[in-house]
């Protein structure tokens, strides 16, 4: 085994690799940019080397800088993780020339499978089914349109290089073709410095299912089963699970055999993933092969018991795999959710800022830690910058069945506390609670179909609003006791609500929850609080104190964890993907509140401001143009993605205050409306 490893990456995957390397007794070496000097992966490693300035092109993508760190550190091998240089054959070649092992596949495999066009040709030669379409890059628009008409709309435009959902567009009709091709080429050029794009048939209601392969240099090639990755947004995976609820044992065997055949065709060594698109009839077609570790590898690890990162190290060191295909088994179910720094209420735009609070759900009173693994790349106090991918951490929940794994995930999401940066936590909870997800009725259009372009947690449905009413009323009762220092006791000191003294309800209150009024009465009982609404009574047992931002309780025996933020007399509650703003008032105060007119921010509707720091890529309107709600206005590139800002109301463009190619900051005004 190697003595030391340099991890040519950052964030959660660098931390993940460090854990397996430590277990194998290796010295771990981190690299970092100026923006990451206090990052978690730097703290975890044995040593760390500065690469350069914050932009990835000057640090994590700077091959010369990484190689200098390798030489100075004396590392025996380099693990690239995913992204950055993980599939860069030039980097692998230069490591080989320096006599340093690359923990990954051969240079030839990276070269052959790193190009989607070439990999599709190889797949066909190996007898693996491929999606109908043109196999070469688009040079002539007229010819491309002819091919699209021939295979039939909708079609998919895909960048030949790279991955991660970048440089991909679905084109529904010919009128959208040229604009989609331009955007696809621009994104591919910016992300991979390769603007080649090819065209293939878009499978209606497709599922994205991939096979994990593992191969050594002694001729053993096997697969670890499938992962379902159909829950995506803009071709970026959000939720992954193993095994797939759609795949039958026979289908797993056939898909696994196809993936192994492709790996053998290219002489593959190390861990890799063969991705397929699957139609409703369970026909599967090759999409691409990722010659690296995948973000979603933990779900396979949890179900098979195989540490994939450890096996990558062993294979790179020349060892033979210690198990064969017949030894691979699948036990239980695992689901992964990616926690992103993004604002779902604003079209999932990337968010930046400091993690002023970051508490993982591993210390919950309900034993969440027994069934949840957290792969984190940040810690409380860290800064989320605009320079890199916005993923903060990954939650992996397990269970004996898929339903059990979903329950574990829902509990973990409810208990995960993140403050200071907008995240998709509520959105992930809403997915887990969605009937279609729970029924495994999935396809890659799920998010667009069920949630649209943005997610508004206050407009969702909640199965029993009375639970949140009871939580707000209980919190108010505890706060009142804290303020007065009084407890509800009789003259002899006996607590009100014991068996010998029935609970005495206080005067009636009104919980105003998202502007809906709920009359309640609260009593302190021997075993908790009794909250009586017009519909029913709730028994709330909790040890919550006003200093805590997570309200954990048993309500009528059911475990409940509710995020809570207090501001004056207002409490914001977050639970199961639903957000509610609550106030507990006297009946008269509630009546007065209902008569107050709602405030509107007319000034805000007159401006388009940038929700993130980034680079203006294009402007879709001109001064004097009439725009409608939802019309595209400005495209801003941030965190390696092009984000389209749209009109939030009808209006007329009065002034455009920026130009294409200009850098902008958070809150900077881009367009003013008349």
Model confidence at 367, pLDDT cuts 50, 70, 90, reads very low
For domain 4-103, the question of CATH label 3.40.50.20 is answered with yes
In this predicted model, what pLDDT tens digit does every residue of 238-250 receive, in sequence order?
A: 999 999 999 999 9
Tokens matching residue 607: 């401006």
Whole-angstrom distance, CA of residue 383 vs CA of residue 355: 6
In the chain, CATH 3.30.470.20 covers: 106-130+207-322, 332-449
For domain 602-673, the question of CATH label 2.40.50.100 is answered with yes
- Residues of 114-129 as b/e, b for ≥16 C-beta within 10 angstroms? bbbbebbebbeebebe
Q: What is the pLDDT of residue 260?
A: 98
Q: What is the pLDDT of residue 574?
A: 94
Q: What DSSP designation does 387 have?
A: S
In this predicted model, what pLDDT tens digit does every residue of 481-499 receive, in sequence order?
A: 777 665 555 444 444 444 5
How far are the Cα atoms of 45, 360, 391, 419 from residue 38, in angstroms, in the given order? 12, 20, 17, 19
Tokens matching residue 55: 């932009």
Query: For domain 465-594, which CATH number applies: 3.40.50.620, 3.40.50.150, 3.30.700.30, 3.10.290.10?
Result: 3.30.700.30
How far are the Cα atoms of 63, 78, 307, 500 from residue 18, in angstroms, in the given order? 21, 12, 13, 60
In the chain, CATH 3.30.1490.20 covers: 132-201
Which residue, among 597, 590, 576, has the nearest Cα to 518 in the 3D structure?
Answer: 590
Catalytic residue chosen out of the listed positions 187, 240, 288, 336: 288
pTM of the predicted model as reported, rounded to 2 decimal places: 0.83
* Residue 571 three-state SS: strand
Count, in order, helices (H) and strands (E) of the chain.
18, 38
Q: What is the pLDDT of residue 365?
A: 44
Q: What is the 3-state secondary structure (H, E, C) of 228-289?
A: EEEEEECCEEEEEEECCCCCCHHHHHHHHHHHHHHHHHCCCCEEEEEEEEECCCCCEEEEEE
pLDDT of 623 over the 70 cut: yes
Whole-angstrom distance, CA of residue 493 vs CA of residue 208: 65
Q: What are the backbone angles phi and psi of residue 522, rounded to the nearest 5°?
A: -125, 135
In the chain, CATH 3.40.50.20 covers: 4-103
Asked whether 136 and 117 are in contact (CB, 8 A), the reply is yes
Q: What is the pLDDT of residue 350?
A: 86
Whole-angstrom distance, CA of residue 602 vs CA of residue 587: 31
pLDDT of 376 over the 50 cut: yes
Active-site residue, 187 included: no
**Average pLDDT of the segment spanning 80-86:** 96
In this predicted model, what pLDDT tens digit does every residue of 437-486 receive, in sequence order?
A: 999 999 999 999 999 888 988 766 788 899 999 999 999 988 887 776 65
In the chain, CATH 3.30.700.30 covers: 465-594
For 287-301, 464-478, 502-516, 583-597, which range has the lowest pLDDT when averaged over its residues? 502-516
In this predicted model, what pLDDT tens digit does every residue of 206-236 receive, in sequence order?
A: 999 999 999 999 999 999 999 999 999 988 8
Model confidence at 364, pLDDT cuts 50, 70, 90, reads very low
Burial class (CB in 10 A: 0-12, 13-18, 19+), 322: exposed
Q: What DSSP designation does 56 have?
A: G
Q: Which CATH architecture has domain 332-449?
A: 2-Layer Sandwich (3.30)
In this predicted model, what pLDDT tens digit does every residue of 391-423 receive, in sequence order?
A: 999 999 999 999 999 999 999 999 999 999 999
- What H or E segment, with its residue span, contains residue 183? helix 177-192
Q: Which CATH architecture has domain 106-130+207-322?
A: 2-Layer Sandwich (3.30)
Q: In DSSP terms, which residues pair with 289 in a beta bridge?
A: 274
Tokens matching residue 378: 């940040």
CATH T-level assignment (fold) for domain 132-201: Dna Ligase; domain 1 (3.30.1490)
Q: What is the pLDDT of residue 569?
A: 86
pLDDT higher at 460 or 631: 631
Asked whether 653 and 671 are in contact (CB, 8 A), the reply is yes
């Amino acid at each position: 085994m190697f003595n030391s490893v340099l991890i040519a990456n950052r964030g959660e995957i660098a931390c993940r690799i460090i854990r397996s390397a430590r277990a194998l007794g290796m010295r771990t070496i981190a690299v970092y940019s100026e923006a990451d000097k206090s990052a978690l992966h730097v703290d975890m490693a044995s040593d760390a080397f500065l690469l350069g300035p914050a932009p990835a092109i000057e640090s994590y993508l700077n091959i010369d800088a990484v190689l200098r760190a390798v030489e100075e550190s004396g590392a025996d091998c380099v693990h690239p993780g995913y992204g950055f240089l993980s599939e860069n054959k030039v980097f692998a070649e230069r490591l080989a020339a320096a006599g340093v092992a690359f923990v990954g596949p051969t240079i030839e495999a990276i070269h052959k499978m790193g190009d989607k066009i070439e990999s599709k040709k190889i797949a066909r030669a190996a007898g693996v089914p491929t999606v109908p379409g043109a196999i070469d890059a688009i040079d002539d628009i007229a010819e491309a349109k002819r091919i699209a008409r021939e295979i039939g709309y909708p079609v998919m435009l895909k960048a030949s290089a790279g991955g991660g959902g970048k440089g991909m567009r679905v084109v529904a009709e010919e009128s959208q073709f040229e604009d989609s091709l331009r955007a696809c080429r621009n994104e591919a050029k910016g992300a991979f410095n390769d603007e080649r794009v090819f065209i293939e048939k878009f499978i209606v209601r497709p599922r994205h299912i991939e096979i994990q392969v593992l191969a050594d240099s002694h001729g053993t090639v096997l697969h670890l089963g499938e992962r379902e990755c159909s829950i995506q947004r803009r071709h970026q995976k959000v939720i992954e699970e193993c095994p797939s609820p759609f795949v039958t044992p026979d289908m797993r065997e056939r898909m696994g055999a196809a993936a192994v055949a492709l790996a053998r065709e290219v002489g593959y060594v190390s861990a890799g993933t063969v991705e397929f698109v699957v139609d409703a009839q369970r026909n599967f077609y090759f999409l691409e092969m990722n010659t690296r570790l995948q973000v979603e590898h933990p779900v396979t690890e949890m179900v098979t018991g195989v540490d994939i990162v450890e096996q990558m190290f062993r294979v790179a060191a020349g060892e033979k795999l210690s198990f064969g295909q017949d030894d691979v088994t699948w036990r239980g179910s695992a689901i992964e959710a990616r926690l992103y720094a993004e604002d779902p209420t604003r079209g999932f735009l990337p968010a930046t800022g400091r993690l002023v609070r970051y508490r993982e759900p591993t210390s919950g009173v309900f034993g969440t830690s027994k069934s949840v693994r957290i792969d984190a790349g940040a810690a409380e106090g860290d800064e989320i910058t605009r320079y890199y991918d916005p993923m903060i951490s990954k939650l992996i929940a397990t269970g004996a069945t898929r339903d059990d794994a979903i329950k574990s995930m829902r509990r973990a999401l409810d208990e995960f506390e993140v403050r200071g940066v907008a995240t998709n936590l509520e959105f992930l909870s809403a997915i887990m609670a969605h009937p279609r997800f729970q029924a495994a009725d999935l396809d890659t259009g799920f998010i667009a179909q069920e949630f649209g372009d943005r997610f508004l947690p206050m407009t969702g449905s909640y199965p029993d609003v009375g639970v949140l009413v009871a939580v707000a009323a209980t919190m108010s009762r505890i706060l009142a006791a804290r303020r007065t220092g009084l407890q509800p006791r009789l003259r002899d000191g006996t607590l009100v609500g014991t068996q010998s003294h029935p609970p005495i309800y206080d005067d009636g209150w009104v919980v105003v929850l998202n502007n809906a009024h709920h009359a309640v009465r609260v009593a302190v009982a021997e075993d908790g609080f009794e909250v009586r609404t017009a519909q029913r009574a709730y028994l709330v047992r909790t040890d919550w104190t006003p200093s805590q931002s997570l309200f954990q309780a048993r309500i009528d025996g059911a475990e409940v964890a509710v995020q809570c933020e207090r501001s004056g007399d207002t409490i914001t509650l977050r639970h199961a993907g639903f957000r509610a703003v609550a106030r507990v008032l006297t009946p008269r105060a509630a009546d007065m509140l209902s008569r107050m007119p709602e405030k509107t921010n007319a000034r805000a509707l007159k401006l388009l401001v940038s929700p993130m720091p980034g680079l203006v890529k294009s402007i879709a309107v001109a001064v004097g143009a009439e725009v409608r709600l939802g019309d595209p206005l400005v495209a801003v590139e941030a965190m390696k993605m092009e984000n389209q800002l749209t009109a939030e109301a009808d209006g007329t463009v009065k002034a455009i205050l920026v130009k294409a190619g200009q850098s902008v900051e958070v809150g900077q005004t881009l367009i003013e409306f008349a």
